[in-house]
Amino acid sequence: MKIIEKLQHTFALSREGAADMVKACISVTVTNMSFMMTAGVLYTLIKDMLNDNLTKERIPFYVIASIIVLALIALTNFIQYNATFLSTYKESGIRRTSLAEKLRKLPLSYFGKKNIADLTTTIMADCAMIETASSHWIPELIGAIISTSLVGISMFIFFDWRMVLASFWVIPVSFLLVWASAGYQKRAVRKNNGVKLELADGIQECLEAVRDLRANNAQDSYMEGLDVKIKKVEKEALFTELKLAVCVNSAAIILKLGIATTALVGGVLLAKGTIDLLTFFMFLMLVSRLYDPMQITLQNFAAIIATLVQCERLDEVLSHEVQTGSEQMTNKGYDITFDHVSFAYNDDTAVLDDVSFTAKQGEVTALIGPSGGGKTTVSRLAARFWDVTGGKITLGGMDISKIDPETLFSAYSIVFQDVTLFNQSIMDNIRIGRKDATDEEVIQAARLANCEEFVCRLPQGYDTVIGENGSELSGGERQRISIARAFLKDAPIILLDEASASLDVENETAIQTALSRLIKDKTVMVIAHRMRTVSGADKIVVLSDGVVKESGKPEELMQKNGIFAKMVKTQTEDQKWVFS
């Protein structure tokens, strides 16, 4: 159904959640109509009393009618509660689970375009806002519109149409006024969200860089900038509330005009004898009871318009294209071949251009070159963090764009330059490489990565909790834990992005020795700036400005006296300095 699909995208719902929202709106409508029935029973009772028609035979009818109406109100309220609140909480769980599953399947390039504060806001605050809208605002709004329309149509049929117009004309006009300002409201909310994200980014950056700030005596100046962002959030929040209040209160003022028009038209018709006194007072009672709830409905309408911004943000994640592919790998071997590969982060920003080379199984292929030359991009493309914009990359002859990313990752052990550790024990951090590994296997991987030397000095050894992102460890120790994960996973392909950058010469030598044992019959791709790191490589690929400038064995490139030879010579000369 188109209505279900529209609700799914508009309010970031699952199909079941959209269907439940339709049921919730219907239940609210029925509940509202059941409350309206009390006015109908009361109107009939008063009419009989005024006309002396309230006989003993009629009294049981009103008693039974009152009991039925009260039972109907209780029943419809129970159904409404289940259809709105319980269904909303169920959908909220589905939404958060779906969001987590979606984030798990999104290409890793997506996270490079989003900052952590933005994603955290989407997962937490936006989901909470939509939950409130789904349980309190949307069903109440739609139910109120439908029930009010039904009441208006019924009264138009059974009562004087002029009184109906005098009472109801303000309702569509008020809603149109709020709706006309929807774009204005959305812009205000987006601007408000923007300054909130700036503040969240600033707070997060402050917490992450607190050591550097203190080391450079920059905390005062940074806090001054943070204080400016806080005041900007306060100012923008006030302006946003003011803008929304102007829209809603203007509509509410128009709504109140209905009382005047009802009294005026009713007085004229009463004077002419067109309507009786009971009908006149019934309409006055109707507008006095109808407009206050409708004013709350207008506030809900404005809140829903504001919530649409959060819905758009959430739907942008849920509707984002995911990387798909076969879950069965039919590759023959683990040679990684770049075949005329081009790549651009944006359509107008080329990063790689016509890159071709093969990283063979059983060999170490080193990617070197100046910073910004495309080395890291090549390694990310090899693991399908992004999809190429031109050419193709194959693994054992199989196009990696046709392989499911999670299936592909099972063949890779990756050691990043920036290590991510968790506030758990060293044992648990290394076991991330392979969840079913035994303690003995974890310890063996740690020994290969030369971790045992510093682990033995810790109070609880491998059971020592290392703090958030390994804050209790040095940079080199954190790097070695990351390398131990790769050893433990023991995948056929190893990608090392400056894996030994944080190690001293002694530990780097130990790691190189361990790597030489690990890489047997495996495909190894190494990114490095230090020539010592790639001294044992079987193949060198020199990348500069996104183009392969040189490619071949180290001794061949030395004879060519090109970029590689120049880099080797420069670093060799740098190491001949003398302390004086």
pLDDT digits (tens, 9 = 90+) for 289-304: 777 778 888 888 888 8
Does residue 323 sit within a domain?
no
Chain segment 377-419, per-residue pLDDT in tens = 898 899 888 888 899 999 999 999 999 888 898 899 888 777 8
Chain segment 171-226, per-residue pLDDT in tens = 889 988 888 888 878 888 888 888 888 888 888 788 778 878 888 888 888 888 88
Residue where one domain finishes, among candidates 288, 318, 348: 318
Beta carbons of 2 and 37 less than 8 angstroms apart: no
Identify residue 96 by its one-letter amino acid code: R
Q: Find the mean pLDDT for residues 315-330.
A: 82
- 39 or 398, which is more confident: 398
**Are residues 293 and 406 located together in one domain of the fold?**
no
Asked if the model's pLDDT at residue 431 lies above 90, the reply is yes
Specify the pLDDT at position 182. Answer: 83
- Using pLDDT thresholds of 50, 70 and 90, give the confidence band for residue 438: very high
Does residue 580 sit within a domain?
no
- Using pLDDT thresholds of 50, 70 and 90, give the confidence band for residue 580: very low
**Are residues 250 and 392 located together in one domain of the fold?**
no
Number of domains the chain is built from: 2
Specify the pLDDT at position 185. Answer: 82
Instruction: Classify residue 534 by its DSSP letter.
Output: T
Asked if the model's pLDDT at residue 27 lies above 90, the reply is no
Q: Find the mean pLDDT for residues 92-104.
A: 80
List residues bridging with 495 in a β-sheet.
414, 525
**Are residues 346 and 463 located together in one domain of the fold?**
yes
Asked if the model's pLDDT at residue 525 lies above 70, the reply is yes
Chain segment 53-81, per-residue pLDDT in tens = 777 777 787 788 888 888 888 888 787 77
- Using pLDDT thresholds of 50, 70 and 90, give the confidence band for residue 577: very low
Q: How far apart are CA 548 and CA 541, in angstroms?
A: 7
Crossing angle between the packed helical segments 170-180 and 219-272, to the nearest 10 degrees: 160
- Using pLDDT thresholds of 50, 70 and 90, give the confidence band for residue 573: low
**Are residues 429 and 299 located together in one domain of the fold?**
no
Q: Find the mean pLDDT for residues 475-491.
A: 85
Asked if the model's pLDDT at residue 153 lies above 90, the reply is no
Q: In the predicted model, what is the mean pLDDT of the chain?
A: 82
- Using pLDDT thresholds of 50, 70 and 90, give the confidence band for residue 360: very high
**Are residues 134 and 245 located together in one domain of the fold?**
yes
Does residue 326 sit within a domain?
no
CATH number of 125's domain? 1.20.1560.10
Residue in this structure with the two tokens 């070159």, named with its chain if needed: 369
Crossing angle between the packed helical segments 15-50 and 277-318, to the nearest 10 degrees: 170
Does residue 328 sit within a domain?
no
**Least confident stretch, 84-88, 298-302, 325-329:** 84-88
Beta carbons of 366 and 540 less than 8 angstroms apart: yes
Distance of CA 441 to the CA centre of its chain: 37
Does residue 162 sit within a domain?
yes
Does residue 419 sit within a domain?
yes
Q: How far apart are CA 488 and CA 437, in angstroms?
A: 8
**Least confident stretch, 26-40, 86-100, 175-189, 494-508:** 494-508
**Are residues 536 and 493 located together in one domain of the fold?**
yes
Q: Which of 183, 134, 115, 167 is nearest to 22 (CA)?
A: 134
Does residue 290 sit within a domain?
yes
Q: Residue 572: is it exposed, middle or buried by C-beta count within 10 angstroms (0-12/13-18/19+)? A: exposed
Q: How far apart are CA 175 and CA 182, in angstroms?
A: 11
Asked if the model's pLDDT at residue 514 lies above 80, the reply is no
Residue where one domain finishes, among candidates 289, 318, 347: 318
Asked if the model's pLDDT at residue 502 lies above 60, the reply is no
Asked if the model's pLDDT at residue 468 lies above 80, the reply is no
Does residue 528 sit within a domain?
yes
* Domain residue limits at 464: 336-574
